[in-house]
Amino acid sequence: MENNLSVRAFVCVSLPESVVGEVAGFVDGLRGFAGFRWVSRDQLHVTLKFLGDVSPGQVSRLDTNFSRLGDVRPFAIKTSGAGGFPSLDRAKTLWLGVGEGGAQLGKLASMVDKAAVRAGCEAERRGFHPHITIARARAENGFGVTRELASRLSEAPLVSWECRGFTLARSVLAPGGAIYSPLGSYPG
């Protein structure tokens, strides 16, 4: 049962402003394609773990546990094209994938998951696939990507940056899309 004081939270790797600008510019060029809600520039990140509704006590334990993980050794991340979950034929989510740095993100996601479990959150059951979400389907069962949109997705920019830590973030659902705010940052 949801507590009125609970917050909807997730853990992510933020993108530097230069990368946000390049990815947001690419997404802006896709906004004319129907069937999807395109994310705004302030929603661009790599999710390490979605936590769902967490209590204030869990937020405090998460902060303590994440702080104890120690510094994240900086590593390079580079995108590697676009795709869709579960597929482009019936995509519920469109994304930019991560090539370089994907293994390190996977290790970081595993560390975050273990720390979150110690804080009373559920263990992750799905495999980790590092990506930056760029759109969500408006239809519950997904939406097939047109040939024209697939062609445009194949032109996704290859952007790179250095991961220097991660963030515990709050997500407030709003009519115009989720609004994210940091609850804690854990630098590398």
Q: Name the band, by pLDDT with cuts 50, 70 and 90, for residue 188.
A: low
Question: Domain for residue 2, yes or no?
Answer: no
Using one digit for the tens of pLDDT, what is the confidence trace for 81-129? 999 999 998 899 999 999 999 999 999 999 999 999 999 999 999 999 9
Between CA 98 and CA 119 the distance in angstroms is 28
Which tokens in the block code for residue 145? 């990507």
d(CA 158, CA 143): 25
In terms of Cα–Cα distance, which of 3, 12, 2, 188 is closest to 116? 12
Averaged pLDDT for residues 44-65:
97
Question: Does some domain include residue 78?
Answer: yes
One-letter identity of residue 24: A
Q: Say how far apart CA 173 and CA 8 lie, in whole Å.
A: 9
| 1 inside domain | no
Following DSSP, what letter does each residue of the chain receive, concatenated?
Answer: ---TT-EEEEEEEEPPHHHHHHHHHHHHTTTTSTTEEEPPGGG-EEEEEEEEEE-HHHHHHHHHHHHTT-PPPPEEEEEEEEEEES-GGGBSEEEEEE-TTHHHHHHHHHHHHHHHHHTTPPPP-SPP--EEEEEEESSTT-BPPPHHHHHHHTT----EEEE-EEEEEEEE--TTS-EEEEEEEEE-
For the stretch 118-156, pLDDT in tens is 999 999 999 999 999 999 999 888 888 999 999 999 999
Domain carrying residue 41? 7-187
> Is residue 148 a part of any domain in this protein?
yes
Asked whether residue 169 is assigned to any structural domain, the reply reads: yes
Give the C-alpha distances (Å, rounded to integers) separating 71 from 108, 126, 165, 185. Answer: 11, 26, 7, 11
Q: What's the domain count of the chain?
A: 1
Inside any domain, residue 147 = yes
Q: What is the pLDDT of residue 1?
A: 40
The predicted-structure confidence for 154-187, as pLDDT tens digits, reads as follows 999 999 999 999 999 999 998 878 899 999 999 8
pTM metric for this prediction: 0.93
Q: What is the CATH number of the domain that holds 82?
A: 3.90.1140.10
Distance from C-alpha of 80 to C-alpha of 106, rounded to nearest angstrom? 16
For the segment 62-86, the average pLDDT, to the nearest whole number, is: 93
**Structural Rg of the chain based on CA atoms:** 17
Evaluate whether residue 97 is within a structural domain: yes
**Angle at which helices 56-67 and 102-118 pack, to 10 degrees?**
130
Confidence bin at 57 (pLDDT 50/70/90) = very high
Structural domain includes residue 86: yes
